[in-house]
Every structure is written in structure tokens, then in C-alpha cells.
Amino acid sequence: MTSEPRGSASLEDEILRALDKSGSMKVRDLYAAVAAADPSLSRQVSARNFADMIWRLSRQGTLTLEESFQDSESFFAFLKLWDAHLSLYGCLGLSLVTVLSIYGLPPEMPWIAIRWAFGSVFVLFIPGRVAVEALFPKQRDMDTVQRLAYSVSLSLVFVMFVGSLLNYTPSGIRLEPITVSLTILTVGLVFTALARKYLNR
């Protein structure tokens, strides 16, 4: 009979002990630290089993996993990580759909109801949402409820600010200039948020 590998409890203890010492580590560095602390453990536990243990501890809430990016990764490669930036790209896409619905759909029922729906989300949520992502690029900086509250509040502030500026321009406060101004603001905030996430990765 072959000898049984060490139990998962021992591996869990070693992982938590290493994290207590350093506070935060990449998975590969954590594996190296555990192997250095107990060389016999690295011979008995495969990298796949180690990764499974990390994932299990994360689901239990014992530790928190955060997405990490290579320091040498370019900004354009960083932008291709769709899953990591899904909320920002979703806001950008919704802004563009709103512009298309305002300029492309006729101002009559039932099409105007679609314009109202997209326009309401665009005005009351989108600018503030991307602004929050730009101000607080790390998810742990603020919980979901706080992000939602700040998103709505900042959106209202941006709308009032843009309206005040347009009031002193020849175009005045009308649907088209407000839409264009908020769209430009949203696109700028999206790329600002992406840049901050890249710098704080």
C-alpha cells in the first residue's frame, strides 16, 4: 500500500499560517511559502490540489481572492480582459444604446417608452457608476450598497452640473446637447476608471 498524503486540514493550516505572516500573497508565492515551510507537503500535494484548496477556502469565506495582473502587461492587453471590466463595458454599451435609441427611434409610442427607459438609467445611474469605479478602483474599497448609493447621487450631481453649463451655451438645455455631453463625460470616466484599475492592479 502506498502512504496516504497529508490531510486537507494540515494543508489548510499551512496556508492560513503563511497568510497570517504576510497578509496578502499571490497564489504561486503562497504555494512556494507553504512548500518552504514544509518541504514534505509540496511532495505530497500537487499544484492542482493546492489550487482546489485555495478555491474551497475562498468559497467558505476564510480568505478572499482578488484578481491580479502581470506588471509587464500592456494597457491594451489589460483592456481585453472583458470579464474583469464587465461593469464598465456594460455602462459604456448602455450609453451607446441610449444615444442610438434617442436619435434612431421615432418619438411616438411604443418607441418613446424605450427611449424613456434607457434614458432614465443613463441619466440616473450610468455617469455616477463609472465615476465610482474611477474613484474607488478596488472592489474592497466599498461594498455593493455603497456603490449603488454613490452611483445615483453622483449621477444627479453630474446631470445638474452639465445642465448648468449648457444653460450658458447657445444650445441651451435640450435633449440632444445633454445626451451628447453626458455621453462624452461617461466615455471619459470609463477610460479614467480603466486607467486607474491598470495602475492599481
52-105 pLDDT, tens digit each: 777 777 777 777 766 555 544 677 777 777 777 788 888 888 888 888 888 887
Do the Cβ atoms of 55 and 79 come closer than 8 Å?
no
Same domain, 36 and 99: no
User: Does residue 81 sit in the same domain as residue 110?
Assistant: yes
For 121-156, write each residue's pLDDT tens digit: 888 899 999 999 888 877 666 777 888 888 999 999
Query: What amino acid occupies position 27?
Result: V
Q: Name the residue range of residue 181's domain.
A: 75-199
Grid cell 500535494 is found at 45
Please indicate, yes or no, whether residues 121 and 194 belong to a single structural domain of this protein. Answer: yes
Do 80 and 55 reside in the same domain of the chain? no
- Which set of grid coordinates corresponds to residue 19? 497568510
What is the model's pTM? 0.59
Cα 189–Cα 195–Cα 201 angle in degrees, nearest 5: 130
- Of 45-54, 90-99, 186-195, the least confident: 45-54
Task: Assess whether pLDDT exceeds 60 at residue 9.
Answer: no
Q: 129 and 86, same structural domain?
A: yes
* CB atoms near residue 6 (< 10 Å): 15
Q: Determine the Cα–Cα distance for residues 122 and 129; give it in Å rounded to an integer.
A: 10
Same domain, 146 and 53: no
Residue 87 to residue 68: CA distance in whole angstroms: 17
190 and 109, same domain (yes or no):
yes
Same domain, 110 and 192: yes
Extract the runs of DSSP E, i.e. beta strands, from 28-181: none
Average pLDDT value over all residues in the chain: 77
Overall number of domains in the chain: 2
